[in-house]
Amino acid sequence: MRQSRLLALVGVVLLVALAGCAGTPADESATPEPESESTDIPADPSEGESLDESTDQPEPEVGTEPTATTNDTETTDTAETVDETTDQPTEETDSYTVTITHVIDGDTMEFEYENGTEDTIRLLGVDTPETTLSRVDPDEYPGIDDTTPGRDHLFEWGEKASDLAIEELEGEQVEIRVDSESDRRGYFGRLLGYIYVEGNNFNERLLADGYARMYDSQFSMREVFRETEQQAQDDDVGLWDYDGESASEESAGDGEVDVPPEPADGDYNCGDFDTQEQAQYVLENEPGDPYGLDRDGNGVACESLPSLRLYS
């Protein structure tokens, strides 16, 4: 009986010992869990692979070309494309193919670039007579008298210069060239340049054929233009073909101007006259301008009317 109890006690001790051995691995296997979490999320943000916060992409390794270089190249290419599509003068040596959309007068035109952008050009180095009679200035044209015949003569050639520009340029594709020695834009913001038609300088043609005088400023063709103008003057070409005395005699020989009869209401207006000379005659023979024919007070009546000299 005593021996049986002793055996039972030994058995209990062995069971306790075996249970202790089995509990130790269970405790140890539970400890790796926090270690696994620490490898997923570093305690120090500077450890491990750093991120670019703006792109959430890994920073490039040392010696590796950043991807931003590709973006810079694309940006540069885009900027160049914008300049090409804008197609406006940005370099001093540039020339452009454009379409003349509207002729304002003999030396000023509106045009359109190939991309549809609109602009205005003032022909460089030339000046055609004004097409508004009151703005004609004979003092700008040597040899032209500041008289009614002189002003009419210049007005006529201003109209002829406009007609030439319309016939040769309006609706046509031409080449515009800018001059490296000239200002790029004039006082009114208009582009300053030359127009070439089939390789021929239209500015120079205006001088050679007597449609314009040289407008003296700084530009590379200044001496060429000066010589061209001088040749036209020497040969009495175009507007330079003017004899003040004969023009005055011709005007005086015409006698009195045939003025339309006074309207029923006794009040002339510009629409009652066929020519500017008729309105001018009434203005000069009716003191005080009772009919209001010279509204801007410059001494020229109904300046929008055509001049009789245009039809002689």
- In this structure, the chain runs to a length of 312
Report the 10 Å Cβ neighbour count for 89: 20
Which of these ranges, 109-123, 137-151, 263-277, has the smallest mean pLDDT?
Answer: 263-277
**130 tagged catalytic:** yes
Name the band, by pLDDT with cuts 50, 70 and 90, for residue 251.
very low
- Marked catalytic residue, from 112, 135, 168, 190: 190
Question: Residue type for 124, please?
Answer: L
User: What is the SS3 string spanning 187-201?
Assistant: CCCCEEEEEEECCEE
Domain coordinates of the chain in residue numbers? 88-243, 256-311
Does residue 297 register a pLDDT over 90?
no
Distance from the Cα of residue 44 to its chain's centroid:
59
pLDDT tens track for 92-104: 448 999 999 999 9
Q: What is the mean pLDDT of residues 242-256?
A: 57
The model's confidence at residue 6, banded by pLDDT at 50, 70 and 90, is low
> What's the pLDDT score for residue 13?
67
The mean pLDDT of 215-235, rounded to a whole number, is 95
Return the ∠ at Cα 310 (arms to 241 and 303), rounded to 5°.
110
Give pLDDT tens digits for 57-91: 444 444 444 444 444 444 333 333 334 444 554 54
How do residues 124-177 score in pLDDT, each as one tens digit? Answer: 999 999 998 888 999 999 999 999 899 999 999 999 999 999 999 999 999 999
Concerning whether 167 is annotated as a catalytic residue, the answer is no
State the chain's mean pLDDT as an integer.
76
Task: Say whether 5 sits in a helix, a strand or coil.
Answer: helix
Give the fold, CATH level 3, of 88-243. OB fold (Dihydrolipoamide Acetyltransferase, E2P) (2.40.50)
Closest CA to 144 of 130, 131, 158, 154: 154
CA dihedral 259, 263, 267, 272 (to 10 degrees): -50
The per-residue b/e assignment along 42-54, b for 16 or more CB within 10 angstroms, e otherwise, is eeeeeeeeeeeee
Own/partner contacts of 215-219, CB < 8 Å, gap of 24 or more, are 215/125, 215/126, 215/127, 217/124, 217/125, 217/182, 217/183, 218/181, 218/182, 218/183, 219/124, 219/125, 219/179, 219/181, 219/182
How do residues 36-58 score in pLDDT, each as one tens digit? 444 444 444 444 444 344 444 44
Determine contact, residues 86/115, Cβ cutoff 8 Å: yes
122 labelled catalytic: yes
Q: Which residues pair with 201 in a beta bridge?
A: 196
Task: For 137-191, give the DSSP string.
Answer: -GGGSTT--SSHHHHHHHHHHHHHHHHHHHHHHTT-EEEEE--TTS-SB-TTSPE
Higher pLDDT, 259 or 66: 259
Residue scoring higher pLDDT (119 or 301) = 119
Beta-carbon count within 10 A of 106 CB: 26
pLDDT reported for residue 20? 60
pLDDT for 265 beyond 50: yes
Residue 309's pLDDT is 53
- Among 34-43, 220-229, 231-240, the least confident range: 34-43
Residues 294, 114: Cα–Cα separation, whole Å: 45
b/e string for 252-273 if b means 16 or more Cβ within 10 A? eeeeebebeeeeeeeebebebb
In the prediction, which pLDDT does 289 show? 85
User: Which of helix, strand or coil describes residue 249?
Assistant: helix
User: What span, in angstroms and rounded, lies between the C-alpha atoms of 99 and 205?
Assistant: 19
Burial of 160 (0-12, 13-18, 19+ CB in 10 A): buried
- Report the distance separating Cα 52 and Cα 56, nearest Å: 5
